[in-house]
């Protein structure tokens, strides 16, 4: 299987051998090759120090540019004819108890380097150019068993790099692996140590978990092993005690089911359709949509349980958590908005909507409309088939009305019938607050009554302007 490596890789191995240095492909590319998968990026480890690696890489690339942003950690990279490689000097590393960054020391043997890898399935190597397979920790056996186990004692491994605990859960999601019991117990006991890892690194592992093939199992383990308490505490908080009359669902299980159903509603990967799989915004919204429920739960007379305004509270909580995890502003805003809007449809299901209400629904969702469609449908987890079918029919009807209005009115791009320049000309105004107020008034009219035409819009604008009083302005 390794003979099929690109010729550029064999050339690279020959150059290192010629220089009297060892080179081995390691980690994910070796694991993936054994599984019959290809890797776009190839990782290597070497006995050469960074300056020596740089000299060899320049020969390999025929003088073309290399990158050395990771030189501090012994890592350099280069590309030749589409083959991308990253090469790291043999090393050992550990975390100071109060530090977020690893302390790096270069090692001198391949086995020693492999011993510091996260899991045995990633502690296999292929020496180049000989193609000798190296597996000192039985990673091949664990790979066949789909088992995650650390090369050294798990307590040492996770103490050295706490992010490995998140990686374990992520590999469960991505590859369908299980975690060896002793390794799982070490995660449970060391879970608080994840807090020394930077928010950005934790976020990246969480996103990889969410877009994996088995995200529900990954999240369940995140909770079961105690990691969620430190990286996503809103999720375990959903495990509310059932009230004695069972008047509300198990919110935690409901959330995981919503995630499963939202994933089922994604467009196929590579299709170019809306919410193409895997869609991290949709999946994050599914997880966070009910996080406001614990804070808003009230026991009403008669044993009824309510969660009034949990969507508003949940949107604020979502924004706060995503900022803590260093998500970008656009993603944070999108997920929080979906959480805020996820209950809006239920008013339609209860009493039907005017065209004005439909316009507002579409305008409030904006570019997230397709995500909102899917989140709303996924949020139906009732076992009452009659109720579920009624909700599905109601949402089918809403989507049909949206399509009809969109065809007539270009509903996704709703604007007042007059723009700011026209408003200033008609009312003889300079740019300022009053123009904005007039614009908002016309937008409200447009929402309520649909397209008015410029003549009717001007008539209403002049009438509104004339009716304004000093007290109204104040």
List 93's β-bridge partners, or say none.
104
Tokens of 261: 């159903």
Q: Give, to the nearest 10 degrees, the angle between helix 199-210 and helix 280-288.
A: 100
Residue 415 has pLDDT above 80, yes or no: no
pLDDT at 474: 40
pLDDT at 417: 83
pLDDT in tens, 6-28: 899 999 999 999 999 999 999 98
What's the full length of the chain, in residues?
474
pLDDT in tens, 209-222: 999 999 999 999 99
Residue 301 has pLDDT above 80, yes or no: yes
User: Other C-beta atoms within 10 Å of 382: how many?
Assistant: 12
Identify the weakest region by mean pLDDT among 166-170, 253-257, 386-390. Answer: 386-390
> Distances from the Cα of 288 to the Cαs of 255, 313, 320, 350, in angstroms?
8, 11, 12, 24
Residue 409 has pLDDT above 80, yes or no: no
Residue 36 has pLDDT above 90, yes or no: no
Question: Any idea where the domains of the chain sit in the sequence?
Answer: 1-139, 146-232, 239-413, 420-473
Distance CA 138, CA 380 (A): 46
pLDDT at 305: 87
pLDDT at 473: 46
Residue 447 has pLDDT above 80, yes or no: no
pLDDT at 444: 83
Residue 140 has pLDDT above 80, yes or no: yes
- Is there a contact between 234 and 290 (Cβ–Cβ < 8 Å)? no
Distance CA 83, CA 86 (A): 10
Whether residue 278 is preceded by a cis peptide bond, meaning omega within 30 degrees of 0, is yes
> Distances from the Cα of 80 to the Cαs of 61, 132, 200, 309, in angstroms?
6, 24, 30, 56
Highest mean pLDDT among 145-149, 347-351, 458-462: 145-149
pLDDT (mean) for 201-230:
97
- Is there a contact between 12 and 23 (Cβ–Cβ < 8 Å)? yes
CATH class of 1-139: alpha beta
Residue 452 has pLDDT above 90, yes or no: no
Higher pLDDT, 416 or 249: 416
Residues 6+ apart with CB under 8 A from 444: none
Residue 245 has pLDDT above 80, yes or no: no
> If pLDDT is split at 50, 70 and 90, which confidence band does 355 have?
confident
pLDDT (mean) for 98-109:
71
pLDDT at 97: 61
Tokens of 274: 């809306």
pLDDT at 306: 87
pLDDT (mean) for 409-416:
64
pLDDT (mean) for 62-89:
92
Q: Right CATH number for 146-232 from 1.10.110.30, 3.40.50.12280, 3.40.630.30, 2.60.120.260?
A: 1.10.110.30
pLDDT at 471: 45
Highest mean pLDDT among 75-79, 389-393, 425-429: 75-79
Q: Against a cut of 0.85, is the pTM above it?
A: no
pLDDT at 98: 61
Instruction: Concatenate the DSSP letters of all residues of 75-103 into one string.
Output: EEEEEETTEEEEEEE-EEEEE-TT-SSEE
pLDDT in tens, 321-349: 999 999 999 999 999 999 999 998 887 76
- Pairing, β 147-148 against β 178-179: parallel
Burial of 181 (0-12, 13-18, 19+ CB in 10 A): exposed
What percent of the chain stands above pLDDT 70?
91
């Amino acid at each position: 299987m390794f003979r099929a490596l690109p010729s550029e890789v064999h050339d690279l191995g020959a150059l290192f051998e010629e220089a009297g240095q060892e080179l081995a492909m390691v980690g994910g590319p070796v694991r993936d090759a054994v599984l019959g998968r290809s890797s776009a990026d190839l990782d290597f480890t070497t006995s050469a120090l960074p300056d020596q690696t740089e000299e060899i890489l320049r020969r390999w690339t025929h003088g073309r540019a290399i990158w050395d942003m990771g030189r501090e950690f012994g890592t350099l990279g280069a590309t030749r004819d589409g083959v991308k490689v990253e090469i790291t000097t043999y090393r050992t590393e550990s975390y100071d108890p109060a530090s977020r960054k690893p302390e790096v020391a270069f090692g001198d043997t391949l086995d020693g380097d492999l011993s510091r890898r996260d899991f045995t399935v990633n502690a296999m190597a292929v020496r180049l150019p000989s193609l000798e397979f190296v597996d000192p920790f039985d990673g091949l056996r664990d790979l066949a068993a789909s088992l995650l186990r650390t090369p050294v004692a798990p307590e040492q491994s996770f103490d050295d790099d706490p992010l490995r605990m998140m990686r374990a859960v992520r590999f469960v999601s991505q590859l369908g692996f299980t975690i060896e019991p002793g390794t799982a117990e070490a995660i449970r006991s060391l879970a608080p140590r994840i807090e020394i890892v930077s928010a950005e690194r934790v976020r990246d592992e969480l996103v990889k978990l969410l877009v994996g093939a088995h995200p529900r199992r990954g999240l369940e383990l995140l909770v079961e092993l105690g990691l969620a308490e430190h990286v996503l505490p809103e999720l375990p908080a959903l495990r509310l005690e059932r009230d004695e009359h069972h008047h509300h669902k198990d919110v935690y299980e409901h959330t995981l089911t919503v995630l499963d159903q939202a994933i089922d509603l994604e467009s196929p990967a590579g299709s170019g359709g809306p919410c193409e799989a895997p869609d991290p915004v949709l999946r994050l919204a599914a997880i966070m949509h009910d996080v406001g429920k614990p804070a808003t739960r009230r026991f009403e007379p008669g044993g009824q349980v309510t969660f009034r305004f949990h969507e508003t509270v949940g949107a604020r909580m979502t924004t706060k958590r995503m900022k803590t995890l260093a998500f970008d502003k656009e993603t944070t805003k999108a997920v929080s908005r979906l959480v805020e809007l996820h209950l809006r449809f239920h008013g339609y299901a209860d009493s039907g909507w005017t065209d004005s209400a439909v316009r507002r629904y579409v305008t409030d969702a904006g570019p997230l409309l397709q995500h909102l469609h899917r989140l709303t449908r996924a949020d139906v987890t009732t076992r009452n088939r009659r109720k579920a079918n009624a909700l599905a029919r109601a949402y089918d009807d809403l989507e049909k009305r949206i399509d009809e209005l969109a065809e007539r009115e270009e509903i996704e791009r709703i604007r007042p019938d007059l723009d700011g320049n026209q408003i200033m000309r008609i009312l003889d105004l300079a740019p300022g607050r009053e123009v904005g107020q007039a614009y908002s008034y016309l937008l409200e009219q447009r929402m309520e009554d649909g397209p008015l035409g410029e003549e009717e819009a001007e008539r209403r604008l002049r009438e509104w302007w004339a009716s304004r009083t000093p007290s109204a302005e104040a």
